[in-house]
Chain A
Protein backbone atom coordinates (compact mmCIF):
# COMPACT_ATOMS: atom_id res chain seq x y z
CA UNK A 1 0.00 0.00 0.00
CA UNK A 2 1.12 3.57 -0.57
CA UNK A 3 2.59 5.33 2.44
CA UNK A 4 1.99 8.79 3.85
CA UNK A 5 2.99 11.38 1.26
CA UNK A 6 4.37 14.79 2.17
CA UNK A 7 5.59 17.78 0.20
CA UNK A 8 7.75 19.67 -0.16
CA UNK A 9 10.63 17.64 1.25
CA UNK A 10 12.77 20.71 1.81
CA UNK A 11 11.99 24.40 2.17
CA UNK A 12 14.23 27.36 2.97
CA UNK A 13 12.61 30.70 3.78
CA UNK A 14 13.47 34.00 5.42
CA UNK A 15 12.01 34.81 8.82
CA UNK A 16 8.59 36.48 8.67
CA UNK A 17 7.79 34.70 5.39
CA UNK A 18 5.07 32.08 5.12
CA UNK A 19 5.23 28.39 4.20
CA UNK A 20 2.74 25.59 3.69
CA UNK A 21 3.19 21.84 3.94
CA UNK A 22 0.92 19.21 2.45
CA UNK A 23 0.15 15.69 3.61
CA UNK A 24 -1.79 12.84 2.06
CA UNK A 25 -2.37 10.02 4.56
CA UNK A 26 -2.72 6.32 3.89
CA UNK A 27 -6.05 5.60 2.26
CA UNK A 28 -8.71 4.81 4.83
CA UNK A 29 -6.82 6.24 7.78
CA UNK A 30 -9.21 8.40 9.74
CA UNK A 31 -6.70 9.99 12.10
CA UNK A 32 -4.01 12.39 10.96
CA UNK A 33 -1.29 14.04 13.02
CA UNK A 34 1.25 16.79 12.47
CA UNK A 35 4.43 16.55 14.52
CA UNK A 36 7.34 18.97 14.81
CA UNK A 37 10.77 17.38 15.19
CA UNK A 38 13.55 19.78 16.12
CA UNK A 39 17.07 18.48 15.49
CA UNK A 40 18.15 16.13 18.26
CA UNK A 41 14.70 15.82 19.82
CA UNK A 42 11.72 13.53 19.63
CA UNK A 43 8.62 14.41 17.62
CA UNK A 44 6.25 16.83 19.34
CA UNK A 45 2.55 16.71 18.52
CA UNK A 46 1.16 19.91 17.02
CA UNK A 47 -2.33 18.86 16.00
CA UNK A 48 -4.48 15.75 15.68
CA UNK A 49 -7.44 15.34 13.32
CA UNK A 50 -10.14 12.68 13.37
CA UNK A 51 -11.63 12.74 9.87
CA UNK A 52 -11.97 16.50 9.25
CA UNK A 53 -12.42 17.51 12.88
CA UNK A 54 -9.71 18.69 15.28
CA UNK A 55 -9.20 16.36 18.25
CA UNK A 56 -6.38 18.28 19.90
CA UNK A 57 -4.45 21.39 18.94
CA UNK A 58 -3.32 22.41 22.42
CA UNK A 59 0.35 22.52 21.43
CA UNK A 60 -0.16 24.37 18.14
CA UNK A 61 1.14 27.98 18.30
CA UNK A 62 -2.06 29.40 16.95
CA UNK A 63 -0.73 32.92 16.51
CA UNK A 64 1.40 31.67 13.60
CA UNK A 65 0.47 28.06 12.83
CA UNK A 66 -2.73 26.84 11.23
CA UNK A 67 -3.82 23.49 9.89
CA UNK A 68 -6.81 22.10 8.09
CA UNK A 69 -8.00 18.79 6.79
CA UNK A 70 -10.62 19.39 4.17
CA UNK A 71 -12.93 16.48 3.35
CA UNK A 72 -11.16 14.35 5.93
CA UNK A 73 -8.32 13.30 3.62
CA UNK A 74 -5.44 15.65 2.70
CA UNK A 75 -4.13 18.15 5.20
CA UNK A 76 -2.10 21.34 5.05
CA UNK A 77 -0.03 22.95 7.77
CA UNK A 78 0.77 26.63 7.39
CA UNK A 79 3.22 28.85 9.23
CA UNK A 80 2.86 32.62 8.94
CA UNK A 81 5.01 34.46 9.84
CA UNK A 82 7.89 32.04 10.35
CA UNK A 83 10.44 32.47 13.12
CA UNK A 84 13.98 31.13 13.37
CA UNK A 85 12.87 28.61 16.02
CA UNK A 86 10.42 27.06 13.56
CA UNK A 87 13.35 25.39 11.79
CA UNK A 88 12.53 21.69 12.12
CA UNK A 89 11.23 18.66 10.30
CA UNK A 90 7.45 18.60 10.09
CA UNK A 91 6.22 15.03 10.15
CA UNK A 92 2.76 13.97 9.12
CA UNK A 93 1.45 10.66 10.44
CA UNK A 94 -1.76 8.73 10.09
CA UNK A 95 -3.44 5.85 11.82
CA UNK A 96 -6.43 3.72 11.03
CA UNK A 97 -8.45 5.02 13.93
CA UNK A 98 -8.14 7.08 17.03
CA UNK A 99 -6.78 4.91 19.76
CA UNK A 100 -3.50 3.49 20.90
CA UNK A 101 -1.94 1.96 17.84
CA UNK A 102 0.73 2.27 15.20
CA UNK A 103 1.40 5.61 13.59
CA UNK A 104 2.59 5.61 10.00
CA UNK A 105 4.87 8.56 9.34
CA UNK A 106 5.67 10.39 6.16
CA UNK A 107 9.24 11.26 5.15
CA UNK A 108 8.81 14.74 6.60
CA UNK A 109 9.24 18.28 5.36
CA UNK A 110 12.47 19.92 6.47
CA UNK A 111 12.08 23.65 7.07
CA UNK A 112 15.01 26.02 7.43
CA UNK A 113 14.22 29.58 8.49
CA UNK A 114 17.05 32.08 7.88
Chain B
Protein backbone atom coordinates (compact mmCIF):
# COMPACT_ATOMS: atom_id res chain seq x y z
CA UNK B 1 0.00 0.00 0.00
CA UNK B 2 0.82 3.68 -0.05
CA UNK B 3 3.45 5.03 2.36
CA UNK B 4 3.81 8.76 3.05
CA UNK B 5 6.86 10.21 4.77
CA UNK B 6 6.73 13.77 6.12
CA UNK B 7 9.56 16.04 7.26
CA UNK B 8 10.35 17.79 9.49
CA UNK B 9 8.37 16.59 12.47
CA UNK B 10 8.72 19.99 14.15
CA UNK B 11 9.43 23.39 12.68
CA UNK B 12 9.86 26.76 14.40
CA UNK B 13 9.97 29.99 12.42
CA UNK B 14 9.90 33.65 13.22
CA UNK B 15 6.74 35.53 12.36
CA UNK B 16 6.98 36.79 8.80
CA UNK B 17 9.40 34.09 7.67
CA UNK B 18 8.52 31.27 5.29
CA UNK B 19 7.91 27.64 6.25
CA UNK B 20 8.35 24.59 4.04
CA UNK B 21 7.12 21.08 4.81
CA UNK B 22 8.05 18.17 2.56
CA UNK B 23 6.43 14.81 1.88
CA UNK B 24 7.32 11.81 -0.20
CA UNK B 25 5.01 9.03 -1.32
CA UNK B 26 5.64 5.52 -2.56
CA UNK B 27 2.80 4.70 -4.94
CA UNK B 28 3.47 6.18 -8.37
CA UNK B 29 -0.26 5.77 -9.16
CA UNK B 30 -1.28 8.25 -6.44
CA UNK B 31 -2.95 11.24 -7.99
CA UNK B 32 -4.41 13.43 -5.23
CA UNK B 33 -2.38 15.21 -2.55
CA UNK B 34 -4.18 17.27 0.11
CA UNK B 35 -2.80 19.14 3.09
CA UNK B 36 -4.72 19.33 6.37
CA UNK B 37 -4.20 21.71 9.27
CA UNK B 38 -5.06 20.57 12.78
CA UNK B 39 -5.06 23.07 15.60
CA UNK B 40 -4.67 21.77 19.13
CA UNK B 41 -7.75 19.80 20.14
CA UNK B 42 -9.55 20.60 16.89
CA UNK B 43 -10.52 18.63 13.81
CA UNK B 44 -8.23 18.41 10.76
CA UNK B 45 -9.28 20.85 8.04
CA UNK B 46 -8.28 20.94 4.40
CA UNK B 47 -6.16 23.96 3.54
CA UNK B 48 -5.03 23.15 0.00
CA UNK B 49 -4.84 20.20 -2.36
CA UNK B 50 -3.24 19.36 -5.67
CA UNK B 51 -3.88 16.75 -8.33
CA UNK B 52 -1.27 14.93 -10.35
CA UNK B 53 -1.97 16.84 -13.55
CA UNK B 54 -0.83 20.09 -11.91
CA UNK B 55 2.68 21.05 -10.79
CA UNK B 56 1.87 23.94 -8.48
CA UNK B 57 -1.12 25.55 -6.84
CA UNK B 58 -1.37 28.74 -4.80
CA UNK B 59 -3.94 30.17 -2.43
CA UNK B 60 -2.90 33.49 -0.94
CA UNK B 61 0.04 32.74 1.41
CA UNK B 62 -0.09 28.99 0.87
CA UNK B 63 1.30 27.04 -2.07
CA UNK B 64 1.82 23.39 -2.85
CA UNK B 65 4.25 21.96 -5.38
CA UNK B 66 4.29 18.45 -6.79
CA UNK B 67 7.15 16.55 -8.44
CA UNK B 68 5.67 13.34 -9.83
CA UNK B 69 8.99 12.04 -11.10
CA UNK B 70 10.59 12.26 -7.67
CA UNK B 71 7.32 11.40 -5.92
CA UNK B 72 7.41 14.30 -3.54
CA UNK B 73 5.28 17.32 -2.77
CA UNK B 74 5.76 20.31 -0.53
CA UNK B 75 3.73 22.89 1.36
CA UNK B 76 5.01 26.46 1.37
CA UNK B 77 3.65 29.09 3.75
CA UNK B 78 4.89 32.62 3.24
CA UNK B 79 4.70 35.57 5.66
CA UNK B 80 3.87 33.26 8.54
CA UNK B 81 1.58 34.50 11.30
CA UNK B 82 1.03 33.19 14.85
CA UNK B 83 -2.33 31.74 13.78
CA UNK B 84 -0.46 29.46 11.36
CA UNK B 85 0.82 27.54 14.41
CA UNK B 86 -0.68 24.05 14.18
CA UNK B 87 0.08 20.50 13.08
CA UNK B 88 0.08 20.06 9.32
CA UNK B 89 -0.54 16.69 7.68
CA UNK B 90 0.14 15.75 4.09
CA UNK B 91 -1.71 12.89 2.49
CA UNK B 92 -1.80 10.92 -0.73
CA UNK B 93 -4.65 9.12 -2.44
CA UNK B 94 -4.08 6.31 -4.88
CA UNK B 95 -5.86 6.00 -8.18
CA UNK B 96 -8.87 3.75 -7.79
CA UNK B 97 -8.81 3.47 -4.00
CA UNK B 98 -9.40 7.16 -3.19
CA UNK B 99 -8.25 6.37 0.34
CA UNK B 100 -6.03 8.92 1.98
CA UNK B 101 -2.78 7.82 3.58
CA UNK B 102 -1.53 10.51 5.94
CA UNK B 103 1.97 11.49 6.94
CA UNK B 104 2.88 11.70 10.62
CA UNK B 105 2.49 15.45 10.77
CA UNK B 106 4.63 18.55 11.24
CA UNK B 107 4.15 20.75 14.28
CA UNK B 108 4.69 24.31 13.11
CA UNK B 109 5.34 26.99 15.70
CA UNK B 110 5.39 30.62 14.60
CA UNK B 111 7.23 32.77 17.09
CA UNK B 112 5.93 36.35 17.37
Mark A residues whose CB is within 8 Å of B.
4, 40-45, 48, 56, 91, 98-103, 105-108
Contacts and interface: CB of A to CB of B under 8 A. Distances in A.
A40 B102 contact: no
B104 A100 contact: no
Interface centre among A4, A43, A99, A100 (most CB of B within 10 A): A100
A105 B45 contact: yes
Interface of B: 4, 6, 31-32, 34, 42-46, 49, 51, 89, 91, 93, 97-105
Q: Chain A interface secondary structure, helix, strand, loop or mixed?
A: loop
A40 B104 contact: yes
B73 to A, nearest CB: 14
A4 B42 CA distance: 13
Q: Is the interface of B mostly helix, strand, loop or mixed?
A: strand
B46 A42 contact: no
B98 A42 contact: no
Contact of A43 (B31, B49, B98, B102): B102
B1 to A, nearest CB: 8
B34 A102 contact: yes
A50 to B, nearest CB: 10
B99 A45 contact: yes
B99 A48 contact: yes
B53 to A, nearest CB: 12
Contacts of B46: 102-103
A98 B6 CA distance: 25
Closest 7 CB pairs between A and B? A42-B102, A100-B32, A105-B43, A102-B46, A100-B93, A105-B44, A42-B89
Contacts of A108: 43
A58 B35 CA distance: 24
B43 A42 contact: no
A45 B1 CA distance: 12
A99 B32 CA distance: 10
